Amino acid sequence: MTPTSGVPEVLARSREAIAPAMKQAVERLSPDIRRLASYHLGWTDRAGAPLGAPGGKGIRPTLALLSAEAAWADAEVGVPGGVAVELVHNFSLIHDDIIDGDRQRHHRPTVWSVYGVGPAIIAGDALENLAHQVLLEASQATGPAASAALAEATSAMIAGQADDIAFEGRRDVSVEECMAMSAAKTGALLGCASSIGAILAGAPPATVGALRDFGSHLGLAFQAIDDLLGIWGDPERTGKPSGNDLRQRKKSMPVVSALAAGGEEAEELRELLLGPTATTGPGSPDGPGTPIPTGADQGTDPPGDEPGPGTGPTAGTGPTAGAGATEPLPPLRADQVERAAYLVEACGGREWTTVRAKAHLDAALGALERVRISAVPHRQLADLAVYVVERES
């Protein structure tokens, strides 16, 4: 990439480099699975007809290519890494949409809502597996290390997702727990994306580690921005309903930090989002730092009797309802969403999250200074990080 490239140019060139390899990987899937994957990636409509528009922004594969260049290799060396990370990212989106009962993503019906839950589970499984095939075939010398790094990041991502679900049933999620969950759920895969090209290039561990730290912090900044957009984002740009995270009572960074502020407004917010304290069962004390409830809390009533996604994820509970100890609450009404957004801001949750986004951006940029990497990709990684934090969708 030329030194004069701005972020849009860098993203466009990366898309061009990744697209053929991504198509080639998806071609390997069996026809029924390929159809779902192509639909999910925005390549085809639900009937399988090709669409002109490209998929997402492609930030993860771009990070992978830049990380190869940062280690003085050709961008091409990072391509299998970019493809693999993109496959894992999309596997997680397909499964997350089932788990959260979300019917829409980027203004399009989600895979499960078009093809059914079973095929969507299978499509996600196939993408997770394909990612390792791509990496192990990429290079005998460095593919295994890249595959191991991806498996480690995937493991963290999945654990973060499990925590996210467990938090739904809890009143007492601390700010630290929330940040640890975000670091696992979002930071680990971005850390992998930002270093996997360097791993494939055979870069020394210090370089790989600095690039991974860059990506992990970027992931936390990214999640902080995502959480802000989930409350105050423009529905036209985000493709999600206004105040969607509040409507779904999500324990996002702004909410958790606002709740931690204490005082009357924080208490009002707590009651609004989590219901009156009286509904909390025994064994869920309202203090921070309480360990995640164990299975003993939920044994008697099989939570599987909750409705699946097909019967109405608009109920906000999703197919996973019942995994926690408390009864799922209905989604907030529009007036409650508005009041909650006011309270989160009044309790400093918006400011706190904005400051955290900035701090993690700074930490990401700082990580790049720890080692000597190639100058142009260095600048492009930094520009991309700023772009991610300044985005509005």
Name which of 105 and 378 has its Cβ closer to a copy of itself.
105
Site membership for a copy of itself, residue 318 (CB under 8 A): yes
Per-residue binding letters, 251-290, with a copy of itself (x by CB under 8 A): ----------------------------------------
The token pair at 209 is 């580690």
Cα 318 off chain centre by: 18
Region 127-166 residues binding a copy of itself, contact defined as CB under 8 A: 128-130, 132-133, 136-137, 140, 143-144, 147-148, 151-152, 154-155, 158-159, 161-163, 165-166
CB of 120 to a copy of itself, least distance (A): 9
Select the span of 7-15, 39-47, 217-225, 281-289 touching a copy of itself (CB under 8 A). 39-47
> CB-wise, 305 or 335, nearer to a copy of itself?
305
129 touches 64 (CB < 8 A): no
Q: Which of 60, 95, 250, 251 binds a copy of itself (CB under 8 A)?
A: 95
Q: How far is the CB of 249 from a copy of itself (least distance, A)?
A: 16
Instruction: Kindly determine how many residues on this chain lie close enough to bind a copy of itself according to the rule CB under 8 A.
Output: 76
55 touching a copy of itself, by CB under 8 A = no
* 35 belongs to the binding site for a copy of itself (CB under 8 A): yes
**Cα separations (Å) of 137 from 81, 99, 131, 146?**
11, 32, 10, 11
- Residue 243: how many other CB atoms lie within 10 Å: 21
Q: Which of 3, 276, 289, 299 binds a copy of itself (CB under 8 A)?
A: 299
* 329 is an interface residue for a copy of itself by CB under 8 A: no
Distances 39 to 12, 60, 108, 133, 163 between C-alpha atoms, Å: 21, 19, 10, 21, 29
Q: Please check whether residue 301 is in contact with residue 283, taking contact to mean a CB–CB distance below 8 angstroms.
A: no
Interaction of residue 314 with a copy of itself, rule CB under 8 A: no
Angle at 77 between CA 71 and CA 83, to 5 degrees: 115
What residues contact residue 97 under an 8 Å CB cut-off, 6+ apart?
105, 110, 111, 112, 113, 120
Rounded to whole angstroms, how far apart are CA atoms 169 and 163?
A: 10
